[in-house]
Chains A and B, each alone.
Chain A
Amino acid sequence: MTIDLPAQLLAAALPPVEQEHLLEARQMQALSFAVHIPLVCFGIAFPSMVLLVESLYLRTGDELYRTLAKRWSKVMIALFAVGVVTGTILSFEMGLLWPNFMATFGDVFGLAFGLEGFSFFVEAIFIAIYVYGWDRMSPRLHLLSGVPVVVAGLTGSLFVISVNAWMNNPSGFRLEDGRAVDVEPWDALFGSAHLWPELTHMYLAGLIVAGFLVAAAYAWGWLKGRRGRYERIALAVPLTVAALAAPVQVVAGDWIARRVADDQPTKLAALEGLGTTTRGAPIHVLGWYDDGEVRYGIEIPKLLSLLAEHDPNATIRGLDAVAPDYRPPVNIVRVAFQTMVGIGTLLAVLGVVHLATWFRRRRFVESRWFHWAVVAAGPASVVALIAGWVATEVGRQPWVVYGVMRTSAAVTGADGVPVGYATLVVVYLGLGFAVAWILRRLAGRPLELPPEPPPILEAHGAR
């Protein structure tokens, strides 16, 4: 895709409009995503963790696993309900904020949302059967009823990510008078080279975020002295899942970065703050982009060329390859990217530490600093998640569809965007409090654990 298309070739099915509140519209969209996406991580990863615990119950017959899985499933359905409504807001916003984007390209990518709709159906149906079906069916059947939830979480992410991958790397249509013609929707959605790395990276992020957040809650409990068998298992499962995913995420991140280098050179230049096209381009850690170069950063020579092209002397396109109003806001993109990579690296280290200890000694690192690190890893992984999306979406600017449609051409002509934005802020604040309150209530319910054997007996049994 070239990005220097003459203006009249740009897409727009409806005539262009003036919208003085474009910035608010974008922020409103970003806010809604930032609320939805952490919930999505639970939709992706929590069902697998609950099923893992339930299958441990089936294998051992130990009631403790059952209690844990049952309690988690209550959290799962509460978060699902919130995921459903925040996702619905997003579906509305696509039309409310970006009617011309939908009018021009709805027929290119709409298919993916149709397929996603069916994933949601399956997810909603089986999550209800699973959660309301405790004690109402045979344990095996019950476990089985949870499997479609896991599968639907995967397919749901696949379809929605295929839309985002297409926005980043559009294909499967031709433009004629600003309209998309000769549309090949399958090709547009599933033929994109961007799809698979993006899906992998997002799915892993789901495992990492949900895993570390749940683990953080129990690690906090550990620091507060709640260290029973129940709590230890409840910590081990999410921590292990996240710890396995975190190192893999670094590799997946490298993969997606190479796709960006191929398909969106301007975005790569913004991610790395590369002002001018350079042979043997370096990477800067930290620092601030100013006037064409990174200041105060730590320079690692030739690394960017090596990583992006596997050749230390490869030429990397800089921001100067396109006119200034075709460049994204570099510092937002770059800081977000560095935040993600920094946190990602630390999470990977934490994961490896946990795995190595667990593997050799079959227990946790029994130190306070480790548990503090897990507590911090929860929110940090959410920050990495949001930062990654900011890097992706802001890095694509000024395009909504890379190289084809500018965001300013997509926006609605309706008044009242700031009012809608303010309303949503209030609603989301209320939502946040509500979720916090629900989680506290659910966590505060008394455990219905099977009676543990009295200590004396245990001591005898252990001799």
Chain B
Amino acid sequence: MALAEVPAVLILVGLAAYVVFAGADFGAGLWYLLAGPGRRGRAIRDFSYHAMAPVWEANHVWLIFVLVVAWTAYPTAFGSIASTLALPLFVAAVGIILRGTAYALRSGAPQDRETEGATGFVFGASSILTPLALGAAVGAIASGRVPVGNAEGDLVTSWLNATSLLIGALAVATAGYLAAVYLAGDAVRERKPELARAFRVRALAMGLVAGALAVGGLVVLREDSRPLFDGLTSGAGLAAVLVSALVGLVTLALVRAGRYEPARFSAALAVAAIVAGWGIAQSPDLLPGLTIEDAAAGRSTLWALLISIAAGLVILVPSLALLYGLVLRGRFDLGAPAGQEPPQPQATRGARGLAAAAVTLLVVGVALTLFADGIALAIGVLSLVGFIALGAIEFLR
């Protein structure tokens, strides 16, 4: 693989991760909305909401990851996409704001029943709107409707067409499906059999919808975007589609059998395979007439990006593993076992010189920052920082 293509692969990996993780959070919002406002749906609503609480912010960062890799590695393509697809992207952004705000509102007032109707609706509706809009944007790129240039493409028909609608709908259905599978698993872990049953039915139903959309969608693609269709029905693209279909069927069987833990992973795999299929079908073009190779930034930028991503992953992977591990082991569930005893008070250590040290740092820091240069200046600034740190310790002792 050429250096210029590596970021494209990373973008697809990030996109797959976004669909698999954040997609499920959107799906939880979908089930929240479909549960209706009344008392009957309360158990479903509370459960959907609670399950995503600790993870949605981290999951959301995958989108940021996709954006920044795209604009760093393929700046002209990014500029063209963002300007032509301004509308769906703006809608997605507004959806994200509304969702986050409604989420925060609900966490500020879980017991408040009067406001729950309105915030719940905004929360649920924006959970559908955002994947729909993002899916439509993907459809525009996949069907070659975004030319190179500043808002060169049609601002409306580029994303309002059969392919875009199909991919948007597929995104929503996939989100609902993933969420139902995960939530069924969570319900089993928390020993809530009725909820597990409820989400099992939803998972099966949404799985069938997603499958039907995917198969029927091929017909749409054949009419509306032939190159994409050809890419998906030949060679490696076809292989990816078949893997996705096969694994999707296995997942349905697992869900039927009530084996949700393996189903989590196979459902994710099915999604990843279809994202990979898109990448294969589209390459080597990024936009019509613009190959990945031509769109790529210079070598030093690409290397810098890859090095920093590698370094970032060293920190990110264990952190994510820790978070998901805690969540999946039920450590954040309501009523999980409490931690340990309160700490023993310790004798206050003597720190008489602290105040004097802080003042010395202040004086040195001010003098050096005002009048020095180079290293001495750096020492001055660090002294000022030290003054604040020591000062805080001393004053709050």
Residues of chain A at the chain B interface (Cβ within 8 Å): 13-17, 52, 56-63, 66, 77-78, 80-82, 84-86, 88-89, 91-96, 99-108, 110-111, 113-118, 120-122, 124-129, 132-133, 135-140, 142, 148, 181-186, 196, 200, 207, 236-237, 240-241, 244-245, 248, 251-252, 254-255, 310, 355, 358-359, 412-416, 420, 423-424, 427, 430-431, 434-435, 437-439, 441-442
B58 within 8 A of partner (CB):
yes
**Which of chain A's residues have a CB closer than 8 A to the CB of B344?**
61
* Complex Cα spacing A339 to B311, Å: 42
* Structural contact, B388 and A427, CB atoms closer than 8 A: no
Indicate whether A106 sits within 8 Å of B75 (C-beta atoms), given known contacts A63-B342, A122-B315, A254-B370.
Answer: yes
Which of B24-32, B204-212, B244-252, B318-326 lies on the face that meets chain A? Answer: B318-326
Report B249 CB to chain A, min CB distance, Å. 34
Q: Is the CB of B381 within 8 A of A196?
A: yes
Question: Given the complex of chains A and B, what is the CA–CA distance between A125 and B21 in angstroms?
Answer: 13
CB neighbours (8 Å) of B69 from chain A are: 110, 114
- Near A by CB (< 8 A), chain B positions 94-144 give 94, 96-101, 103-105, 107-109, 112
Within 8 A of A (CB), among B300-314: 300-301, 304-305, 308-309, 312
Contact present for B338 and A136 (CB under 8 Å): yes
Residue in contact with B93 in the complex, picked from A88, A236, A237, A358, CB distance below 8 Å: A88
Residue of A nearest to B383 (CB): A248
Neighbouring A residues of B332 by C-beta, 8 Å: 132-133, 136
* Distance to closest chain B CB from A76 (angstroms): 12
**28 A-B interface contacts by CB (under 8 A):** A77-B107, A81-B101, A81-B103, A81-B107, A85-B101, A88-B60, A88-B96, A96-B83, A100-B79, A102-B78, A110-B68, A110-B301, A113-B72, A114-B312, A117-B64, A124-B61, A128-B323, A132-B332, A142-B339, A244-B391, A248-B384, A359-B395, A413-B151, A414-B155, A415-B155, A416-B87, A430-B101, A438-B104
State whether B338 touches A135 (Cβ < 8 A): yes
Within 346-360 of B, Cβ neighbours of A (below 8 Å) are at 346, 348, 355
Give Cα distance in the complex from A341 to B86, angstroms. Answer: 39
Is B343 a contact partner of A114 (Cβ separation < 8 A)? no
B285 shortest CB reach to chain A, Å: 18
Q: Are B83 and A99 in contact (CB under 8 A)?
A: yes
Pair B61/A121 contact, Cβ less than 8 Å? yes
CA distance A252 to B92 in the complex (A): 39
A240 to B308, CA, bound (A): 37
Q: Report the separation of the CA atoms of residues A252 and B84 in the bound assembly, to the nearest whole angstrom.
A: 42
CB of B58 within 8 A of CB of A114, answer: no
For A88, give its contact among B64, B75, B343, B396 (CB under 8 Å): B64
Which residues of chain A come closer than 8 Å to B345, judged between CB atoms? 59-62
Whether the pair B355, A359 counts as a contact (CB closer than 8 A) is yes
B72 adjacent to A106 (CB under 8 Å): yes
Whether the pair B104, A17 counts as a contact (CB closer than 8 A) is: no
Judge whether A91 and B57 touch: CB under 8 Å. Answer: no
Asked whether any CB of chain A lies closer than 8 Å to the CB of B54, the reply is yes
Partner of A126 from B319, B336, B388 at Cβ < 8 Å: B319
Give bound CA distance, A424 to B342, whole Å.
47
The reply to whether B319 and A184 contact each other, CB–CB distance below 8 Å, is no
In the bound complex, CA of A124 to CA of B90 (Å): 24
**Chain B 354-397 per-residue mask, 1 if CB under 8 angstroms from chain A, else 0:** 01000000100110011100000110010011011001100110
Are A99 and B150 in contact, with the CB atoms below 8 A?
yes
A184 to B54, CA, bound (A): 38
Is B338 a contact of A128 with CB atoms below 8 Å?
A: no
Q: A residues within 8 A CB of B320?
A: 121, 125
Report whether A118 and B107 are in contact in the complex, using a CB–CB cutoff of 8 Å.
Answer: no
The yes or no answer to B316 lying at the interface (CB within 8 A) is: yes
Complex contact B343–A78 (CB within 8 A)? no
Residues of chain B lying within 8 A (CB to CB) of residue A92: 67, 82, 89-90, 92-93
Question: How far is B315's CA from A120's CA once the two chains are assembled, in angstroms?
Answer: 12
Measured CB to CB, the closest approach of chain A to B358, in angstroms, equals 9
Q: Check: B73 CB closer than 8 A to any chain A CB.
A: yes
Task: Say how far A130's CB is from chain B's closest CB, in angstroms.
Answer: 10
Instruction: Name which residue of chain A comes closest to B395, CB basis.
Output: A240
The answer, among B75, B92, B96, B362, for a CB contact under 8 Å with A110, is B75
Query: Which residues does chain A contribute within 8 Å of B340, judged by CB atoms?
Result: 137-139
Chain B residues lying within 8 Å of A186, measured Cβ to Cβ, are 304
Q: Which residues of A contact B348 (CB under 8 A)?
A: 59
Q: How far, in whole Å, are A58 and B384 apart by their CA atoms in the complex? A: 27
Whether A118 and B312, one on each chain, are in contact in the complex, defined by CB atoms closer than 8 angstroms, is: yes
Contact indicator B371/A310 (Cβ below 8 Å): yes
Q: Is residue B63 within 8 Å, beta carbon to beta carbon, of the partner chain? A: yes
Min CB distance, A146 to chain B, in Å? 14
- B48 at interface by CB-CB < 8 Å: no
Is the beta-carbon distance between A255 and B369 smaller than 8 angstroms? yes
Q: A110-B75, A358-B395 are in contact. List 6 more A-B contacts (CB 8 A).
A: A56-B396, A89-B97, A91-B64, A100-B79, A132-B54, A415-B151
Taking the complex as formed, is B55 at the interface, i.e. its CB lies under 8 A from any CB of chain A? Answer: yes
9 shortest interchain CB distances as A-B pairs: A110-B72, A95-B82, A103-B79, A106-B75, A107-B297, A85-B100, A118-B312, A438-B108, A99-B79
**Chain A positions within 8 Å of B150 at CB level:** 14-17, 99-100, 103, 412-413
Q: Is the CB of A434 within 8 A of B319?
A: no
